[in-house]
Amino acid sequence: MPSHMHFGEADLLRIRFAVSPLWETQEAVRTLKRPDRHGYHLPWLRRIREAARGLDLTGLWLLMPARGHAPDFLGPPPIGPAASFEDEIAAVRGVDPEVARQDMAWSLSDTPGAADSPQGRAFVADPARAVRELADTVELAWHTLVEPEWPRLRALLEADVAFHTRRLARSGLEGLFADLHPRLRWSDRTLTLATRGDHVRRLDGQGLMLLPSVFCWPDIVTGFEPPWQPTVAYPARGIGALWAEPAGSPPEALARLLGDRRAAVLLALDEPAGTTALAHQLGLAPSSVSAHLAVLRDAGLLTARRHGHQVLYERTPLGIALAVSQPGPA
Protein backbone atom coordinates (compact mmCIF):
# COMPACT_ATOMS: atom_id res chain seq x y z
CA MET A 1 0.00 0.00 0.00
CA PRO A 2 1.33 3.50 -0.78
CA SER A 3 2.22 6.39 1.48
CA HIS A 4 0.63 9.74 0.55
CA MET A 5 1.64 13.28 1.50
CA HIS A 6 -0.96 15.90 0.57
CA PHE A 7 0.23 19.45 -0.13
CA GLY A 8 -1.73 22.63 0.39
CA GLU A 9 -0.91 25.94 -1.28
CA ALA A 10 1.40 27.02 1.56
CA ASP A 11 3.29 23.70 1.43
CA LEU A 12 4.23 24.27 -2.20
CA LEU A 13 6.16 27.37 -1.09
CA ARG A 14 7.92 25.56 1.77
CA ILE A 15 9.86 22.81 0.09
CA ARG A 16 13.51 22.99 1.07
CA PHE A 17 16.67 20.91 1.13
CA ALA A 18 18.97 20.25 4.07
CA VAL A 19 22.09 18.28 4.97
CA SER A 20 22.32 16.46 8.30
CA PRO A 21 25.46 14.99 9.91
CA LEU A 22 23.23 13.43 12.59
CA TRP A 23 21.13 11.63 9.98
CA GLU A 24 24.25 10.34 8.23
CA THR A 25 25.54 9.03 11.56
CA GLN A 26 22.31 7.16 12.20
CA GLU A 27 22.34 5.66 8.72
CA ALA A 28 26.04 4.76 8.98
CA VAL A 29 25.23 2.78 12.15
CA ARG A 30 22.37 1.07 10.33
CA THR A 31 24.60 0.30 7.34
CA LEU A 32 26.96 -1.70 9.56
CA LYS A 33 24.10 -4.17 10.13
CA ARG A 34 22.78 -4.14 6.55
CA PRO A 35 24.92 -6.20 4.12
CA ASP A 36 22.66 -5.10 1.26
CA ARG A 37 24.02 -1.57 1.73
CA HIS A 38 27.69 -2.51 1.77
CA GLY A 39 28.41 -2.57 -1.97
CA TYR A 40 29.07 1.15 -2.44
CA HIS A 41 30.82 1.55 0.92
CA LEU A 42 33.42 -1.22 1.07
CA PRO A 43 36.43 1.17 1.21
CA TRP A 44 34.80 3.02 4.13
CA LEU A 45 33.93 -0.24 5.87
CA ARG A 46 37.54 -1.38 5.62
CA ARG A 47 38.80 1.91 7.04
CA ILE A 48 36.49 1.94 10.07
CA ARG A 49 36.49 -1.82 10.78
CA GLU A 50 38.85 -1.75 13.76
CA ALA A 51 37.41 1.42 15.27
CA ALA A 52 33.84 0.13 14.91
CA ARG A 53 34.70 -2.93 16.97
CA GLY A 54 35.17 -0.64 19.98
CA LEU A 55 31.62 0.71 19.74
CA ASP A 56 28.68 -0.83 21.58
CA LEU A 57 25.83 -0.15 19.16
CA THR A 58 23.38 -2.76 20.46
CA GLY A 59 21.01 -0.16 21.93
CA LEU A 60 20.77 1.73 18.65
CA TRP A 61 20.40 -1.47 16.63
CA LEU A 62 17.57 -2.61 18.92
CA LEU A 63 15.67 0.50 17.78
CA MET A 64 16.32 -0.12 14.08
CA PRO A 65 13.78 -2.77 13.03
CA ALA A 66 14.32 -4.50 9.71
CA ARG A 67 10.92 -3.16 8.68
CA GLY A 68 8.95 -0.65 10.62
CA HIS A 69 9.41 2.46 12.72
CA ALA A 70 12.75 3.82 13.92
CA PRO A 71 12.48 6.53 16.60
CA ASP A 72 12.17 9.93 14.97
CA PHE A 73 13.78 11.69 17.93
CA LEU A 74 17.11 9.90 17.28
CA GLY A 75 17.31 10.98 13.63
CA PRO A 76 14.97 13.94 13.35
CA PRO A 77 14.82 16.27 10.38
CA PRO A 78 17.68 18.78 10.75
CA ILE A 79 16.95 22.04 12.51
CA GLY A 80 18.41 24.09 9.65
CA PRO A 81 19.71 23.73 6.09
CA ALA A 82 23.29 23.23 7.28
CA ALA A 83 23.08 22.43 10.99
CA SER A 84 26.20 21.22 12.80
CA PHE A 85 26.31 17.85 14.52
CA GLU A 86 26.69 19.64 17.84
CA ASP A 87 23.42 21.54 17.30
CA GLU A 88 21.59 18.41 16.21
CA ILE A 89 22.75 16.17 19.06
CA ALA A 90 21.84 18.92 21.54
CA ALA A 91 18.29 18.78 20.16
CA VAL A 92 18.25 14.99 20.67
CA ARG A 93 19.37 15.40 24.28
CA GLY A 94 16.61 17.95 24.84
CA VAL A 95 13.72 15.76 23.66
CA ASP A 96 10.74 15.36 26.00
CA PRO A 97 11.21 11.97 27.75
CA GLU A 98 7.54 11.11 27.23
CA VAL A 99 7.85 11.74 23.49
CA ALA A 100 10.95 9.54 23.49
CA ARG A 101 9.18 6.79 25.46
CA GLN A 102 6.29 6.59 23.00
CA ASP A 103 8.70 6.71 20.05
CA MET A 104 10.83 3.88 21.46
CA ALA A 105 7.83 1.75 22.40
CA TRP A 106 6.51 2.00 18.84
CA SER A 107 9.90 1.04 17.42
CA LEU A 108 10.38 -1.90 19.81
CA SER A 109 6.96 -3.28 18.90
CA ASP A 110 8.13 -3.66 15.28
CA THR A 111 10.86 -6.16 16.20
CA PRO A 112 9.57 -9.45 17.66
CA GLY A 113 10.79 -9.84 21.24
CA ALA A 114 12.50 -6.43 21.43
CA ALA A 115 9.95 -4.88 23.81
CA ASP A 116 10.39 -7.77 26.27
CA SER A 117 14.19 -7.76 26.16
CA PRO A 118 15.98 -6.38 29.25
CA GLN A 119 17.31 -3.40 27.30
CA GLY A 120 13.95 -2.70 25.66
CA ARG A 121 12.16 -2.74 29.03
CA ALA A 122 14.83 -0.45 30.51
CA PHE A 123 14.43 2.07 27.67
CA VAL A 124 10.68 2.36 28.22
CA ALA A 125 10.87 2.33 32.03
CA ASP A 126 13.36 5.22 32.20
CA PRO A 127 13.20 7.19 28.95
CA ALA A 128 15.23 10.13 30.28
CA ARG A 129 18.16 7.84 30.99
CA ALA A 130 17.66 6.09 27.66
CA VAL A 131 17.87 9.41 25.82
CA ARG A 132 21.15 10.25 27.57
CA GLU A 133 22.69 6.85 26.85
CA LEU A 134 21.53 6.73 23.25
CA ALA A 135 22.70 10.30 22.57
CA ASP A 136 26.12 9.43 24.02
CA THR A 137 26.31 6.41 21.71
CA VAL A 138 25.30 8.43 18.66
CA GLU A 139 27.89 11.08 19.49
CA LEU A 140 30.62 8.45 19.82
CA ALA A 141 29.50 6.90 16.51
CA TRP A 142 29.76 10.32 14.86
CA HIS A 143 33.34 10.83 16.02
CA THR A 144 34.35 7.28 15.07
CA LEU A 145 32.47 6.49 11.87
CA VAL A 146 31.48 9.72 10.13
CA GLU A 147 33.36 12.81 11.30
CA PRO A 148 36.72 11.77 9.73
CA GLU A 149 34.95 11.51 6.35
CA TRP A 150 32.51 14.39 6.80
CA PRO A 151 34.20 16.93 4.47
CA ARG A 152 33.96 14.40 1.62
CA LEU A 153 30.39 13.39 2.52
CA ARG A 154 29.20 16.97 2.96
CA ALA A 155 30.66 17.98 -0.39
CA LEU A 156 28.75 15.22 -2.17
CA LEU A 157 25.50 16.01 -0.32
CA GLU A 158 25.73 19.72 -1.06
CA ALA A 159 26.48 18.97 -4.71
CA ASP A 160 23.31 16.85 -4.78
CA VAL A 161 21.32 19.75 -3.34
CA ALA A 162 22.74 22.09 -5.97
CA PHE A 163 21.83 19.66 -8.77
CA HIS A 164 18.26 19.14 -7.60
CA THR A 165 17.72 22.83 -6.95
CA ARG A 166 18.50 23.44 -10.62
CA ARG A 167 16.27 20.50 -11.53
CA LEU A 168 13.38 22.07 -9.61
CA ALA A 169 13.91 25.38 -11.41
CA ARG A 170 13.90 23.67 -14.84
CA SER A 171 11.29 20.94 -14.44
CA GLY A 172 9.07 21.85 -11.49
CA LEU A 173 7.94 19.50 -8.75
CA GLU A 174 7.00 16.65 -11.08
CA GLY A 175 10.48 16.57 -12.60
CA LEU A 176 12.16 16.99 -9.23
CA PHE A 177 10.36 14.10 -7.53
CA ALA A 178 10.67 11.82 -10.55
CA ASP A 179 14.44 12.26 -10.37
CA LEU A 180 14.79 11.70 -6.62
CA HIS A 181 13.74 8.05 -6.56
CA PRO A 182 11.80 5.67 -8.85
CA ARG A 183 9.29 4.90 -6.08
CA LEU A 184 8.16 8.54 -5.80
CA ARG A 185 5.26 9.94 -7.84
CA TRP A 186 3.84 13.47 -7.92
CA SER A 187 0.25 14.08 -9.02
CA ASP A 188 -2.54 16.48 -8.05
CA ARG A 189 -0.59 18.06 -5.16
CA THR A 190 0.10 14.64 -3.67
CA LEU A 191 3.50 12.98 -3.27
CA THR A 192 3.11 9.20 -3.27
CA LEU A 193 5.73 6.69 -2.19
CA ALA A 194 5.28 3.03 -3.06
CA THR A 195 5.72 1.21 0.27
CA ARG A 196 4.45 -1.83 2.13
CA GLY A 197 2.52 0.37 4.57
CA ASP A 198 -0.54 2.54 4.21
CA HIS A 199 0.05 6.08 5.44
CA VAL A 200 -1.61 9.43 4.78
CA ARG A 201 -0.35 12.80 5.99
CA ARG A 202 -1.57 16.30 5.25
CA LEU A 203 1.30 18.73 5.50
CA ASP A 204 -0.96 21.56 6.74
CA GLY A 205 1.46 24.36 5.96
CA GLN A 206 4.61 22.73 7.35
CA GLY A 207 6.01 22.13 3.90
CA LEU A 208 8.46 19.34 3.10
CA MET A 209 12.15 18.87 3.83
CA LEU A 210 14.22 16.93 1.29
CA LEU A 211 17.29 15.26 2.77
CA PRO A 212 19.96 13.67 0.53
CA SER A 213 21.78 10.81 2.22
CA VAL A 214 24.96 8.89 1.48
CA PHE A 215 24.23 5.87 3.64
CA CYS A 216 20.49 5.29 3.16
CA TRP A 217 20.85 3.71 -0.32
CA PRO A 218 18.90 1.80 -1.64
CA ASP A 219 16.12 2.99 0.68
CA ILE A 220 14.01 6.10 0.61
CA VAL A 221 12.69 7.14 4.02
CA THR A 222 9.53 9.03 4.90
CA GLY A 223 6.95 8.87 7.68
CA PHE A 224 8.20 11.38 10.21
CA GLU A 225 5.23 11.86 12.52
CA PRO A 226 4.16 15.02 14.38
CA PRO A 227 5.75 16.96 15.96
CA TRP A 228 8.52 16.35 13.44
CA GLN A 229 8.88 18.21 10.14
CA PRO A 230 7.57 16.13 7.18
CA THR A 231 10.71 14.83 5.47
CA VAL A 232 11.83 12.60 2.63
CA ALA A 233 15.38 11.20 2.89
CA TYR A 234 16.66 9.85 -0.42
CA PRO A 235 19.95 8.42 -1.80
CA ALA A 236 22.28 11.17 -2.95
CA ARG A 237 23.63 11.26 -6.50
CA GLY A 238 27.21 10.16 -7.05
CA ILE A 239 27.68 7.68 -4.21
CA GLY A 240 29.09 5.15 -6.66
CA ALA A 241 32.22 7.29 -7.00
CA LEU A 242 32.30 8.56 -3.41
CA TRP A 243 35.16 6.38 -2.24
CA ALA A 244 36.96 6.22 -5.60
CA GLU A 245 40.74 6.38 -5.68
CA PRO A 246 42.38 9.43 -7.26
CA ALA A 247 41.77 9.66 -11.01
CA GLY A 248 44.40 8.64 -13.54
CA SER A 249 46.33 10.92 -15.83
CA PRO A 250 44.34 13.30 -18.04
CA PRO A 251 44.54 13.05 -21.84
CA GLU A 252 47.88 14.21 -23.22
CA ALA A 253 46.55 17.07 -25.37
CA LEU A 254 44.55 18.63 -22.53
CA ALA A 255 47.47 18.16 -20.14
CA ARG A 256 49.78 20.01 -22.56
CA LEU A 257 47.29 22.87 -22.76
CA LEU A 258 46.45 23.25 -19.08
CA GLY A 259 49.04 21.22 -17.19
CA ASP A 260 48.45 17.75 -15.72
CA ARG A 261 46.86 18.77 -12.44
CA ARG A 262 44.78 21.61 -13.80
CA ALA A 263 43.42 19.32 -16.52
CA ALA A 264 42.63 16.68 -13.90
CA VAL A 265 40.64 19.23 -11.90
CA LEU A 266 38.63 20.25 -14.95
CA LEU A 267 37.86 16.63 -15.89
CA ALA A 268 36.83 15.78 -12.32
CA LEU A 269 33.98 18.29 -12.37
CA ASP A 270 31.29 16.08 -13.92
CA GLU A 271 29.07 17.44 -11.13
CA PRO A 272 29.42 20.66 -9.13
CA ALA A 273 31.98 20.14 -6.38
CA GLY A 274 33.96 22.02 -3.79
CA THR A 275 37.66 22.20 -3.08
CA THR A 276 37.67 19.54 -0.35
CA ALA A 277 35.80 16.95 -2.42
CA LEU A 278 38.09 17.48 -5.39
CA ALA A 279 41.16 17.23 -3.19
CA HIS A 280 39.94 13.87 -1.86
CA GLN A 281 39.07 12.64 -5.34
CA LEU A 282 42.36 13.64 -6.93
CA GLY A 283 44.69 12.97 -4.01
CA LEU A 284 45.95 16.58 -4.00
CA ALA A 285 46.34 19.14 -1.24
CA PRO A 286 43.29 21.42 -0.87
CA SER A 287 45.52 24.50 -1.27
CA SER A 288 46.79 23.17 -4.62
CA VAL A 289 43.27 22.40 -5.84
CA SER A 290 42.10 25.86 -4.75
CA ALA A 291 44.84 27.52 -6.80
CA HIS A 292 44.00 25.45 -9.89
CA LEU A 293 40.29 26.23 -9.52
CA ALA A 294 41.03 29.95 -9.36
CA VAL A 295 43.05 29.81 -12.60
CA LEU A 296 40.37 27.77 -14.40
CA ARG A 297 37.67 30.18 -13.22
CA ASP A 298 39.67 33.23 -14.31
CA ALA A 299 40.15 31.57 -17.72
CA GLY A 300 36.40 31.23 -18.15
CA LEU A 301 36.33 27.45 -17.85
CA LEU A 302 34.51 27.31 -14.49
CA THR A 303 31.92 29.24 -12.55
CA ALA A 304 31.76 29.40 -8.75
CA ARG A 305 28.90 30.00 -6.34
CA ARG A 306 28.54 29.70 -2.60
CA HIS A 307 26.31 26.95 -1.23
CA GLY A 308 26.12 26.37 2.52
CA HIS A 309 29.60 26.06 3.97
CA GLN A 310 31.48 25.90 0.73
CA VAL A 311 31.94 27.25 -2.78
CA LEU A 312 30.84 24.88 -5.53
CA TYR A 313 32.57 24.93 -8.93
CA GLU A 314 31.15 23.74 -12.23
CA ARG A 315 32.19 23.92 -15.86
CA THR A 316 31.11 26.74 -18.14
CA PRO A 317 30.06 25.85 -21.72
CA LEU A 318 33.68 26.43 -22.76
CA GLY A 319 34.92 24.17 -19.96
CA ILE A 320 32.41 21.49 -20.94
CA ALA A 321 33.50 21.67 -24.56
CA LEU A 322 37.15 21.21 -23.60
CA ALA A 323 36.41 18.33 -21.21
CA VAL A 324 34.08 16.31 -23.40
CA SER A 325 36.20 16.68 -26.52
CA GLN A 326 38.99 14.71 -24.86
CA PRO A 327 39.26 10.94 -25.22
CA GLY A 328 39.45 9.04 -21.95
CA PRO A 329 42.77 7.67 -20.73
CA ALA A 330 43.88 4.46 -22.41
For the chain, the domains span: 2-239, 245-324
User: What residue ranges of the chain have pLDDT lower than 70?
Assistant: 1, 196-197, 223, 244-249, 307-309, 317, 324-330
Q: Rounded to 5 degrees, what angle do the CA atoms 47, 313, 172 make?
A: 100
Listed residue (325, 258, 328) closest to 293, CA to CA:
258
Q: What is the pLDDT of residue 325?
A: 57
Q: How far apart are CA 201 and CA 195, in angstroms?
A: 14
Q: pLDDT per residue over 220-270, tens digit each?
A: 888 677 778 899 999 998 787 778 665 556 778 888 889 989 999 998 887
DSSP code of residue 185: E
Q: What is the pLDDT of residue 252?
A: 82
CATH class of 245-324: mainly alpha
Q: How far apart are CA 213 and CA 230, in angstroms?
A: 16
What sign does the dihedral 223-81-160-75 (CA atoms) show?
A: negative
